[in-house]
Structure 1
């Protein structure tokens, strides 16, 4: 039984470390209801409706990377169906996330 203890412990440590690394790549934006924004996304425009970022990992065809989706889920943001784009909600707050080629728009939903 002791043979299996170290591999299991090591696997758990690697999993926890991986999750921590994924979460550390995003920061909560207070102006967008605490919605996580990629650390390396460059803010290009801000208005009353939300914020627009240049982010090379965003794709018009594939949306956001799986790691960003996982970070949103781990942070408690639930993806709900929007009319054209996915809407994320948490604690009664809603945010519309629009990903196009190298561009990310995060808009407040009322």
Structure 2
């Protein structure tokens, strides 16, 4: 398992800097370049943060009550679905998009 210290050695930044970046410390001011470098190295080394496992056992059904044809006609719905999926993936959350409530309730009961 990769440590913050290993990422710090590879990037040339201090362990404190790496830690604050990886923990998304909003009070910590660094350049976008520094943030990107640390995050890139963390991904390359398969760094897994302690808090990243919080959603591993959760499946979430999202009721998306619009049919695919209607979705294609309105960019708003396409973008909304994409944002939901991207946010869930980034958070490690498994989601299931359902088109009706009855299917969703049956699936989880």
The answer to whether TM tops 0.5 is no
Q: Which structure is higher in RCO with an 8 Å CA cutoff and minimum separation 6?
A: 2
| TM-score (structure 2 length as normaliser) | 0.25
Determine which structure has more spread, i.e. the larger CA radius of gyration: 2
| TM-score (structure 1 length as normaliser) | 0.25
Report the structure, 1 or 2, having the larger helix content: 2
